[in-house]
Structure 1
């Protein structure tokens, strides 16, 4: 039994070192993959390309995307991440509709663009927020403003759409918020899927790379726990931490 435990201990140490090496390698590959995927995404964000007619609200998405010179597939990818194309979606943060726009942002964009002028008396209401065409129009105009603010960097514009431009300005890039990081990856993954654009030098999407990295990390933790169990058994045999 003692010999078996010692053998398990040595094999476990080898596995631990290998897992650490793989985890580090995957981390570097993941970072490089992010840069390639984001660069390709940014380069194509302004390419005029309509979404397929099978996509919900395709006509409205294509029209408003063309008006501001944004790839319609980006707008559709954002809507998919924000509301899953549910026009009456409402978040706990008080955002409404297909593109999950807050009343404050809606009022700001509406005052500048006059989207709702002549449609109803007084202030905009929930019926405005839930109106598919109005929501897509306001949301697309807002994303266009963010793109101009960040000099055409669509990744930063998406991060600002989720976390607010103040957070992006504060950190000088994507804020270190788990929700914003996950959101940005999801929109970009959606875009690659909708556009059928090949992932550059990679067989995995951003989310898949992240999942592989996390899986190796959990294996690393499991190996450490296994080694602790073996060490406990060896200590019982020797009544000491010297096992020679």
Structure 2
């Protein structure tokens, strides 16, 4: 197989994986949307709500991102192997003034759990270990098998990607996503955490931290 055929074959496989993930996310989104609509219809007789605003919005954000990813992958095929060797840009949080934020500690029972994986991800994406630990504490209480009602999975509650229950994969991808949001919002940790919880679309829509009670409580659980 010549280099061009190899690249085309690789990209085709990537597209197929992205498309399959998009289909799965679409099913999750539609299911949760129907649940929410049904809950709204039945609100006169019950106060139980199975899906929160933040969960529904997070599912929608991920669904749209996967569709966009699939569209981009399907239309972009490099002409040479040189284009496939570009290194991934490492999100930087150097502009973040961590002194402005007090990250709350994790419970003593979780100290030491996944410490090496957390240390590796922290160094790789330039995110404090304490922040990664606290996010894991709030998201899953260090239980890699947790699955939310919206389909978020694992230690850092990822909405998409393969091997999400694998601690190493989950911590790496979760930290990468968090670092990307920190960079996107120029070091504003509140906005980065709000985007991680409710999706960047809602941060943009409301011009700051969304007025969702779940998201606001999420921030107070992680930083002071």
* TM-score normalised according to structure 1 size: 0.47
Q: Which residue of 2 aligns with 1:43?
A: 98
User: Match of 2:181?
Assistant: 146
**In angstroms, what is the RMSD of aligned CA positions?**
2.5
* 1:51-84 C-alpha deviation (Å, 9 max, x unpaired): 9993311111111011111111001000000000
1:82 aligned to 2:117? no
Structure 2 counterparts to residues 201-212 of structure 1, below 5 A = none
Extract unaligned runs of 5+ from structure 1.
1-40, 107-123, 190-244
Q: Secondary structure at the match of 1:100?
A: coil
Aligned partner of 2:159 among 96, 102, 111: 102
Q: Is the 8 A contact 1:147 1:154 kept in 2?
A: yes
Find the residue that maps to 1:185 and give its secondary structure. helix
| Deviation for aligned residue 1:99 | 0.2
> More helix by proportion, 1 or 2?
1
Counterpart in the other structure of 1:157: 192
Report the CA distance between 1:45 and its aligned residue: 7.9
Q: 1:79 to 1:42 in 2, by over 3 A?
A: farther
Larger Rg: 1
CA contact (8 A) 1:83 1:98 kept: yes
Assess, with a 3 A threshold, how the Cα gap between structure 1 residues 93 and 42 changes in structure 2: closer, same or farther: farther
The answer to whether the 8 Å contact 1:168/1:175 transfers is: yes
Counterpart in the other structure of 1:70:
127
Structure 2 segments unaligned to the other structure (5+ residues)? 1-95
Residues 181-196 of structure 1 aligned to structure 2 (within 5 Å): 181-188=216-223
- Equivalent pair of 1:83/1:89 in contact (CA under 8 Å): yes
Partner residue of 1:135 out of 170, 188, 194: 170
The 3 A distance-change label for structure 1 pair 167 and 180 is same
> Could you say which structure has the greater relative contact order, defined with CA pairs below 8 angstroms and 6 or more residues apart?
1
Query: Distance between the aligned counterparts of 1:72 and 1:44, measured in 2?
Result: 15
Asked whether 1:166 is paired with 2:182, we answer no
Cα displacement (A) at 1:88: 0.6
Tell me, in whole angstroms, the C-alpha distance in 1 between the residues paired with 2:213 and 2:111. Answer: 32
SS of corresponding position for 1:142: helix
CA positional deviation for 1:177: 0.2
